[in-house]
Structure 1
Amino acid sequence: MEIKVEHYFFQWMMYLTNTVQAELMVYFYPQKHTTDSQNIESIIKMQEGRITEMFKLLDDELENKNYLIGETISACDYFLFMLAVWADEFKKPPLSFNNLSRYLRKLAQRDAIINVCKKEKLSLADYM
């Protein structure tokens, strides 16, 4: 049975939106996930660990690949770049992973990303 590129696109887009982005939202808005404000710091710490594990999985996936789905850039790559930027202040940020760092630095050279970052006033200095 041949698996088509579209399968991988949907697989990764669902993982990025329903797992990585969802966990990042808990990280950034922990107060929405507890009624006890004393738990907020522990939620943040746990989420950072969970999300770091997800970046490790993505780092492994990117070994010997230029893009998440192979040799062709897709919306998954742009979406992953955005999520990685959200996590750039983690203790182990996405740029600290070998394959993910190579991948993100390559994406940061693309005109589309440069233009969006200029518009959003986001620095790409760490990615150069």
Structure 2
Amino acid sequence: MLKLFYLPDTASLAPHIILNRLGVAHELIQMGKDDGSLAGEDYLKINPNRRVPTLIDGDLVLFESAAICLHLADSDPDSGLMPPLGSAKRATAYKWLIFMTNSIQADMMLYFYKERFSKTAQGAEEVRDVAIERVSTFMSRLDDALSDGRPFLCGGQKTIVEDYLLMLGRWYVQMGQEEQLKSMAHLYALLCVLEDDHFVQQTYDGEGCQPLFRC
């Protein structure tokens, strides 16, 4: 049975949604931010980065949320969670997923962990302000991409990219940018559609997450 080590409403949210979409048997193992479990000897053996998520699939151990999402989609090619291998839509999915991880998510970490990137309190606040500006610019690029009327980022098919987007959309609201996000009409409308989904609601219920998007 697959095992997902997670924390509610963190980078494990997208893999958790995808596990529910696939309907595969899995065990959820909740970690704690303050109880030392992320730094425990047993956990460090499978994820030395002291983060979630971690997925155990037989002898395979994976960390990094995007890698887990891709593996789960590839484990069931008929699920439609990724476009066909070698197709232009598959390449587009890679583009947006890597943009989210390398640009949006990376700069969100500057906001949430600003103290790690400056030796002074003033510097940390400057890091936070720059992070907001950069993330807002990147989110607007997603809105621009959707302005051509496509229902999803890769075209007419919802993929793991959208589950990842929903996770980051929640974090953007948690950065205090809800009104800014609402001004991105195409992106906000998509987030509303994504949240109104049985498997998303199932995952929210399991993690105790509150819906954030209502159009």
What's the TM-score, normalizing by structure 1? 0.90
**Whole-Å separation in 2 of the counterparts to 1:99 and 1:82:** 17
Cross-structure match for 2:184: 97
For the pair 1:80 / 2:170, whether they are aligned, the reply is no
Question: Matched residue of 2:196: which SS?
Answer: coil
Unmatched segments (≥5 aa) in structure 2: 1-86
Greater per-residue strand proportion = 2
In the comparison of the two structures, how many residue pairs are matched? 127
**Whole-Å separation in 2 of the counterparts to 1:24 and 1:115:** 26
Cross-structure match for 1:113: 200
1:7–1:119 distance in 2 versus 1, CA, 3 Å: same
Q: Deviation at 1:97?
A: 1.0
For the pair 1:13 / 2:97, whether they are aligned, the reply is yes
**Amino acid aligned to 2:186:** N
**Amino acid aligned to 1:55:** M
1:126–1:115 distance in 2 versus 1, CA, 3 Å: same
Q: Deviation at 1:93?
A: 3.8
Cross-structure match for 1:61: 145
**Whole-Å separation in 2 of the counterparts to 1:77 and 1:20:** 14
Name which of 93, 108, 119 aligns with 1:24.
108
Unmatched segments (≥5 aa) in structure 1: none
1:127–1:117 distance in 2 versus 1, CA, 3 Å: farther
1:39–1:91 distance in 2 versus 1, CA, 3 Å: farther
1:86–1:11 distance in 2 versus 1, CA, 3 Å: same
* Cα distance per residue 1:11-51 (max 9 Å; x no partner): 11110111111010111001111112221111111111110
Greater per-residue helix proportion = 1
What's the TM-score, normalizing by structure 2? 0.55
**Whole-Å separation in 1 of the counterparts to 2:158 and 2:93:** 10
Cross-structure match for 2:70: none
Aligned 8 A contact 1:30 1:43 in 2: yes
Aligned 1:37-48 pairs, distance under 5 A: 37-48=121-132
**Alignment RMSD, CA only?**
1.8
**Whole-Å separation in 2 of the counterparts to 1:125 and 1:87:** 11
Aligned 8 A contact 1:26 1:33 in 2: yes
Report which of the two structures shows the higher radius of gyration computed on alpha carbons: 2
- The runs of at least 4 aligned residues of structure 1 exceeding 3 Å deviation read none
Identity, % of aligned pairs? 21
**Whole-Å separation in 2 of the counterparts to 1:96 and 1:104:** 13
**Whole-Å separation in 1 of the counterparts to 2:185 and 2:121:** 36
**Whole-Å separation in 2 of the counterparts to 1:4 and 1:15:** 16
Cross-structure match for 2:32: none
1:79–1:21 distance in 2 versus 1, CA, 3 Å: same
